[in-house]
Amino acid sequence: MKKISLLILLFAMMACSKNRDNEVPIGGIFIDVDIILIIKDISGKNLLDTLVPNHFDISTIKLYYIREDAKEEVYNPMLSLPRNLKIRDYEGEYFLHLFTDGSRSNYESEVDGVLYGESITLLQLNENTIDTIKTAWKAGRNYFVNTKVWYNNELKWELQGEIQEMPILVIK
């Protein structure tokens, strides 16, 4: 009986951890690298609306990830969103929903098993307009989340507490 009690105690102690960042939560893995943008002109017209003159056409919008100082176009025909972006219509308002680079390879520091880093995503809205999205992120064994978002070097969003809904307003 002592051996069984000792074995149960040993398993209970192994299950305890001071650092909860690396535990798998109920439900598994959490990845949050998406960004939601509203892009308007100075008069307030939504430039993602196909009825607006000079709107940005989803068929020509491209994403590029900067990896090891090289620009890589995002395109994977096997995915439901091959370019990692889409335009969503919500009650007549149009949003650009895109996904930033979720690669852990470009981390800058590690503290107690949590990786911290930054990534750069280039958003090509048309032939003449390329914007820069920089994200700060953190990643544990079971999660990867953006913690800050800069759009053309202007801090636009910062994680504070619970995951917060965007969108980020961009004026062109």
Q: Tell me what the mean pLDDT of segment 135-141 comes to.
A: 91
Lowest mean pLDDT among 30-34, 85-89, 96-100, 160-164: 160-164
> Is 164 within the bounds of a domain?
yes
Number of separate domains in the chain: 1
> Is 23 within the bounds of a domain?
no
If one counts every other C-beta atom within 10 angstroms of the C-beta of residue 80, the result is 6
Domain hosting 41: range is 29-171
> Is 57 within the bounds of a domain?
yes
Classify strands 34-40 and 168-171 as parallel, antiparallel or unpaired. Answer: parallel
> Is 3 within the bounds of a domain?
no
Q: What is the mean pLDDT of the chain?
A: 84
> Is 12 within the bounds of a domain?
no
Contacts of 153 (CB under 8 A, 6+ apart): 132, 134
Angle CA 169–116–13, to nearest 5: 125
> Is 19 within the bounds of a domain?
no
Question: Is 60 exceeded by the pLDDT of residue 128?
Answer: yes
Q: Is the pTM of this model over 0.85?
A: no
> Is 96 within the bounds of a domain?
yes
> Is 120 within the bounds of a domain?
yes
pLDDT in tens, 52-99: 999 999 999 999 999 988 999 999 999 999 999 999 999 889 999 999
Tell me whether residue 165 is exposed, middle or buried, using C-beta atoms within 10 angstroms of its C-beta: 0 to 12, 13 to 18, 19 or more.
exposed
